[in-house]
Structure 1
Amino acid sequence: MNNLLKVICLFLIFSNASVFGQKIPFGKNSFIDYKAEKGTFDVSVNGKQVLKDGYSEVLVNNEMISSRDFNRRTIVKKTFKNDTGTGQQYQFTGRSKSGVTFIQSIFAYSNHQFFVIKVSISGTALSSNQMFPLKGKLTAADDFTNQTGLMVPFDNDTFISYQANLLSMEKEHVSSEVTSVYDNRTRKGYVIGTLNHDQWKTALKTRLPVPQHLELAVECGYTSYELTRDRSAHGYLKGNSISSSGILFGYFDDWRTGMESYAKTVRETEKPIVANWTGATPVGWNSWGVMQEKLSYEKVTQVVDFFAENLKSFRMGNVAYIDLDSYWDNLLKGNDYSALKKFADYCKSKGLKPGIYWAPFTDWGFQGGANRKAPGSDFTFGEMWTKVEGGFHDFDGARALDPTHPGTQKRIWSVISNLKACGFEMIKIDFLGHAAVESTQFYNPKVSTGMQAYRVGMEYLLQCLDNKMLIYAAISPSVASGRYVQVRRIACDAFKSIKDTEYTLNSVTNGWWQTYLYHYIDADHVVLGNEGEAANISRTLSAIVTGTLIVGDDFSANGPWKANAQKLFQDQDLLQIIRDGKAFKPVDGNRGKSASNQFIKEQGKVRYVALFNYGNRSAIAPIDYSRLGIDEKSIVSIEDLISHQPINPINYHQQALQPAQATMLKITLK
């Protein structure tokens, strides 16, 4: 037997009355108690039971098979090592009466406070569009009505928000790809999430039938119009072997640490195929903030001039991007891209990098008919439309294009080739969820699910881009896009008001952990406009807290935003904060559809604390050092980076904020 793998095969035949358990340790003082005669398991962490009666279930060939169905089971144990860590893998195998082999695999990490479980089936001519790698009862709380449940959206479309609400009796809670259930006061909580996103859309469902037990069901194969935008059922996976996504399960002393561990593990599991970004944190300008459909060569070159002459210090690594959003085709004459190349050359002549925008998987002109020829091929758009139940997938005013269709791909190659030839160095890609929709029939017969199609489309797009541009995703799947882009916008469109600030920071409060899944997350174009000073500062700080700074005022026109931009966007104390490109962490996570009022970030011996007042009345922000994780005795100095005034740290335990006001504290420690 191979000593390296340390494979131990235990062939066990159980009677209904027999009792046999497998104690599977993981992390520190944690173990899984697998009851092999029942096909269920319990999980304990630090002597406390956190999961009871866990099991797996699969719908295969219209038959539901469960790990609880077998009283004969083969157990295989072996060591494993991957980029996440090392541990023991346990494989529990049973065989159904219909001849389907049912395999539960548990990966128990010795160096992490979580394990991973997945379920697989093998046999002949199998078909499944629903797999439950994990069902069971969460049991860590005495009363789960005091616990907060996190809802993560599938994407950032339709101005959707994350939600973090107290659990209610009998109400089903559905989250996409990952969830957390936690006590906001103590911060102890669960993190449960998917590690694979190239085949399945997955929902994490919880329901509270009694206060002491929270029912959990992790469903690979979930679709709904509200969450995944699908009007069709999930596509079927077929073959002689089918596997679920791997599911990470952990109970953490701080749910925020758990969410960050989850994001890091996804990135280790699904290695990016996009190039590793070694440049500076992206900063710059995007035309959708204000200019929008009024985009013209004259106006955008005036923006370039303003950056070159009046925003010289708004740079990272001596770089800023000037990005043309939708309506850049105002500069086209038929298929003549010369005006766009002229713009790109002008940017470079002024020491700036040109950026562009495109939505590669959408047809915005579908109402013009099916027989229009698509650029770069002889295919018509009608041939390329994604087929769904009842016709086609129309969403956000655009019709989805089949990512596997050669016409879609030839169009991508044609447009991207022209944009590369112009010399663009950044591209903002949008409405990527259109590439992930379920279809009744994709062009490629080997593709049967929306996430398989998304992978095909994104891999082809990256092949065409050939690492020639920084890739920024706007509307896109929240977790599944980590392999394909360097930057992802954390929320939907946001502009200038305090409500835009609050909306954006709702996504940072509950999705900041994506800073470890992507190189950068972004708060969308910061617009100053005619808003007051407080709203301007708050909106700017919302971007600093997120980790990048892209702005959006029309600097070709005169207005107060020009002077305000020169003051705010060139503040080197603020720009220093985003030099590492990482997001702040929320202090609180129980704000429903709103956002935490406080965020914190560590940089060496410095702690940056951002304070926000989203209301229209004055407020007092408490400064609770223990809550912030700061030893008050170790504080050397405190500076308000907005007023540029020092603060006496002695007995500094609150900060007054005017309506819509925010500030940034720099706390230096010994």
Structure 2
Amino acid sequence: MRTTIYITFCLCLIFSGWRLQAQTLKEYPDSVVLYDSQVRIVFHTANGAIDYHFAGPTDVYNAVGYVLDTRTGLLLTTSLAQHPYSTDAVHDSLGDGIRINIRHMDDRHAISLVQRITLYADRHWVLTDITAASSTGQATVETRNISPLAILPSQQGRVAMSGSEPRILDEPFDNDDWVGVVERHWPDAAGISYEFSALYDNAAFNGLVMGSLTHDCWKTGIVYHTGAAPGQIDSLVVYGGAATPDVPSLPRAYGGRDGTHDVMPHGTLTGAAVASPLIYLGGGTDIRGAFTGYGRANARINGSLDWKGNAPVYWNSFGVEGVLGYEKVMMPPGVAKVSDYLHSLDNFSRWSPPVLSVDSYDQSIYTTDLLASLSKYAKKNGQQMGFYFGPFVVWTWKNSVEQTKLPGTNFSLGEAVLKDEQGKPIAYKDGDWGAYPIDPTHPATRQYIITQLQKAKAIHATFLKIDFLTCGALESITHSDPAISTGMQAYNYGMKMVKHLIDSILGPDIFITEAISPMFPHQYAHTRFISTDVYSHLRDDEKGFPSWGSTEASLATGAHLGWVQGTLWPFTNLDVCIMQHFQKNPDLSEQEIRVRLYAMMVMGSILGDGSDFRQPLAAQRGRKYLNDPRLCAFFSRPQAFLPLKYSDGDGFDQQMAFYGKAKDTLLGLFNFNTHEVFRWRCGLDSLGLKKGKYLVKEFLTGATLATVEAGQDVISLTIPPGDALMAELIPQ
């Protein structure tokens, strides 16, 4: 051993047989080891490969980095002969840590790869990135594919994770088309997750969370292929440069619609040096905490919006009519009647002024002047106005794209639309009537957004729903701004512009919710839809309903995303609840409504409703549920629950469990199996409770469900088929 470096702070913990007294860096003849109580990083100085070992345990062996240069081809860190390194003490917004800087280089290659690996004190997660740089300063790097973490069979790379129920979390790029999160099983699982993923044991929650922390240049992909042995990964690559087309012949979540929706390759980045995305690796005995760490790290690096005061509550018109007024389902007097009805719900209105959120609307009926008059009417009822628009999309007829004027500008849509390599307009939603993405960097787009926000100002809107944001992230043959070469660069540019224009035109206290959108960058909104529109029926296979948009499908995805609330955004958004029926769908049962509300609770969602309260049954149910004092108090400060039992697999018979802390502990249990009961047993210690006597009551009715006696350490509850339970544990 040559050198031992200590950054002093006491740990005195035991991990895998090591007794540690400090975060430590040690140098050996053939390796450098950086470790703390939960993480051990081994840099092999002979070939440049890296091992990562996390408590759990999860072990990564022989990881490499690479760049795929458009001119010189693939270059691995292990393909270079020399691997000199240095170390730095790090003090930044994430904390204090130690960084290893490795320059993979030799005289045969014009490009070197500079790898950085940082371990922070008391964080138990690792950050890594890689930069491809000209070795002499003379060459230029150009790439659309760069990876700081690649586990490749050709390099004897592998990942091994302990546990009896190994899973890979496969995340879609955005929340469009009712594509859910997929939990992949062994063996022979292969695919690509976007921006983040996790390897975990479904029974014990140990595992590894990985994901990108920078979102201003690259779309990040995580390509995986499982090994034959349970818990072993033979191939895993985390890279910047993901761009995948839709493949309609494939299932939605398996390559059909879960990708980036691109028809063009990812744009290239060019320069004397090109950096990869910064990647987070957080492993240990509980991935729920690792995901929270991932969210917090994103917020520290990129910022996040906060919200002063209580969460907004709102009514949205889309549940009544897809394009408000188009089919004459609800004309303006109907909106006024909804306003009057909401005014009668004193608890719904108690915590914050309800918002009338008019969604997509027939502009020949709901003119700006008409919406302004509705805003005045709503104000008399103590309510506020919402406004809907898509900043990077225009809907029009396919044969008129080149001639259509971009509203509020002197430009045609053909001048601003994103185009493919043949110079033809790209359609985000294809058809005779289609959705066309417009370039976030084009001056016409800026003027179009200003025009929309001036409408919002004219109606005194305080709540914005911005939609089809994914359009702005699509790759294009070119962008108006020559400095922009990738879809994510353009999207980040555009979202920053949108937020600046909102602040300057409407003011800083405007609540922004993202509908169809990528997960990242997150810092320009207060909340984002967990999934596509939710219609409130129980399951996707329910007779008479669409095979999408169910409560089960939205919660199955949301079960893995509660960590975003309080880290990326102040709140989540599980879309609106429905008191009777969504648009032309059949009527819902009251049980379905209750299950839906409980799903919104466990997700920490803001409370929205999309019902036609002119209908007596909807009005009756609204008074029962939307005016419930305890429910309204919860949604004034919603908090996401912690999962106790995740969704798992593609079936509809999901059984999920969550717990949250309010005044007393809340336990949310969901049984989407319509034929079998769900018997749930849980130790009090899993809920953070000490042994003692507890009364278990149903949240809404106050009915006593069970009693936990002082000598018991387990709670047992039964949930009927197709039902849910929100139980409150009250200490006695």
TM-score (norm 2): 0.84
Alignment partner of 1:447 is 2:454: no
CA-CA distance at 1:653 after TM superposition: 4.3
* Corresponding residue SS for 2:691: helix
CA distance in 2, matches of 1:248, 1:316: 41
Shifted more, 31-40 versus 657-666: the winner is 657-666
Deviations 1:389-448 (A, max 9, x none): 352221233011111111111111112122113211001000000000011111111111
CA-CA distance at 1:385 after TM superposition: 0.6
Pairing of 1:137-156 with structure 2 (within 5 A): 137-141=157-161, 146-156=165-175
Pairing of 1:187-586 with structure 2 (within 5 A): 187-211=205-229, 213-214=232-233, 215-225=235-245, 226=257, 227-272=259-304, 275-293=305-323, 294=325, 295-309=330-344, 311-315=345-349, 317-327=351-361, 329-333=363-367, 337-367=368-398, 368-390=400-422, 391-396=424-429, 397-466=434-503, 467-478=508-519, 480-499=520-539, 500-515=550-565, 516-529=567-580, 530-547=587-604, 548-555=606-613, 557-586=614-643
**85, 94, 98: which one pairs with 2:104?**
94
* Corresponding residue SS for 2:707: coil
CA distance in 2, matches of 1:508, 1:409: 33
* Corresponding residue SS for 1:522: coil
Pairing of 1:604-615 with structure 2 (within 5 A): 606-615=664-673
**Is the Cα–Cα contact under 8 Å of residues 646 and 657 in structure 2 kept in the other structure?**
no
Pairing of 1:119-134 with structure 2 (within 5 A): 119-123=130-134, 124-134=139-149
Shifted more, 370-379 versus 388-397: the winner is 388-397
**181, 188, 207: which one pairs with 1:162?**
181
Alignment partner of 1:79 is 2:89: yes
CA distance in 1, matches of 2:38, 2:464: 47
What is the identity, as a one-letter code, of the residue corresponding to 1:50?
Answer: D
**Is the Cα–Cα contact under 8 Å of residues 417 and 464 in structure 1 kept in the other structure?**
no
Name 1:23's counterpart in structure 2. 33
Shifted more, 621-630 versus 528-537: the winner is 621-630
Deviations 1:21-68 (A, max 9, x none): 111124x24221101221101122359561110111111243211111
Deviations 1:343-378 (A, max 9, x none): 112211211111111112111014334112222221
CA distance in 1, matches of 2:588, 2:719: 17
Deviations 1:608-634 (A, max 9, x none): 111222233351331322584344623
Deviations 1:621-669 (A, max 9, x none): 3132258434462353221113321233237844343343222101134
**Is the Cα–Cα contact under 8 Å of residues 667 and 728 in structure 2 kept in the other structure?**
yes
CA distance in 2, matches of 1:332, 1:290: 15
CA distance in 1, matches of 2:521, 2:331: 32
**135, 140, 159: which one pairs with 2:150?**
135
Pairing of 1:646-661 with structure 2 (within 5 A): 646-650=704-708, 653-661=715-723
**602, 615, 618: which one pairs with 2:660?**
602
* Corresponding residue SS for 1:412: helix
More helix by share: 1
CA distance in 2, matches of 1:448, 1:629: 49
CA-CA distance at 1:490 after TM superposition: 0.5
Deviations 1:81-119 (A, max 9, x none): 222221011110133523223100111112111101100
TM-aligned CA distance change 1:47 to 1:306, over 3 Å = closer
Alignment partner of 1:592 is 2:649: yes
Name 2:62's counterpart in structure 1. 53
CA distance in 1, matches of 2:360, 2:59: 49
How many pairs were matched up? 645
Name 2:248's counterpart in structure 1. none
* Corresponding residue SS for 2:410: coil
CA distance in 2, matches of 1:324, 1:347: 12
The alignment yields a C-alpha RMSD, in angstroms, of: 2.4
Shifted more, 430-439 versus 497-506: the winner is 497-506
Aligned-pair identity (%): 23
What is the identity, as a one-letter code, of the residue corresponding to 1:664?
Answer: M
**Is the Cα–Cα contact under 8 Å of residues 30 and 45 in structure 2 kept in the other structure?**
yes
CA distance in 1, matches of 2:97, 2:118: 7
CA-CA distance at 1:581 after TM superposition: 2.6
Deviations 1:123-180 (A, max 9, x none): 2322110001101245443688x401111111000111111132223x3132111111
TM-score (norm 1): 0.91
CA distance in 1, matches of 2:726, 2:677: 16
Deviations 1:446-492 (A, max 9, x none): 111110010111111112111252101011002x1411110111000
**Is the Cα–Cα contact under 8 Å of residues 351 and 633 in structure 2 kept in the other structure?**
no
Name 1:12's counterpart in structure 2. none
CA distance in 2, matches of 1:79, 1:181: 30
Shifted more, 581-590 versus 337-346: the winner is 581-590
CA distance in 1, matches of 2:537, 2:557: 16
CA-CA distance at 1:292 after TM superposition: 3.0
**Is the Cα–Cα contact under 8 Å of residues 659 and 666 in structure 2 kept in the other structure?**
yes
Deviations 1:492-527 (A, max 9, x none): 011121121101101211222221211111111111
Shifted more, 429-438 versus 180-189: the winner is 180-189
Name 1:182's counterpart in structure 2. 200
CA-CA distance at 1:318 after TM superposition: 3.1
CA distance in 1, matches of 2:194, 2:347: 41
CA distance in 2, matches of 1:488, 1:196: 19
CA distance in 2, matches of 1:209, 1:172: 10
Q: Which runs of 5+ in 1 are unaligned?
A: 7-17
What is the identity, as a one-letter code, of the residue corresponding to 2:515?
Answer: A
CA distance in 2, matches of 1:39, 1:372: 56
CA distance in 1, matches of 2:435, 2:616: 34
Runs of 4+ more than 4 Å apart: 46-49
What is the identity, as a one-letter code, of the residue corresponding to 1:66?
Answer: L
* Corresponding residue SS for 1:89: strand
TM-aligned CA distance change 1:199 to 1:431, over 3 Å = same
* Corresponding residue SS for 1:610: strand
CA distance in 2, matches of 1:327, 1:46: 53
TM-aligned CA distance change 1:576 to 1:621, over 3 Å = farther
Alignment partner of 1:41 is 2:50: yes
Name 2:728's counterpart in structure 1. 666
What is the identity, as a one-letter code, of the residue corresponding to 1:34?
Answer: F
CA distance in 2, matches of 1:486, 1:160: 22
CA distance in 1, matches of 2:216, 2:603: 27
Shifted more, 540-549 versus 32-41: the winner is 540-549
CA distance in 2, matches of 1:328, 1:465: 23
Name 1:14's counterpart in structure 2. none
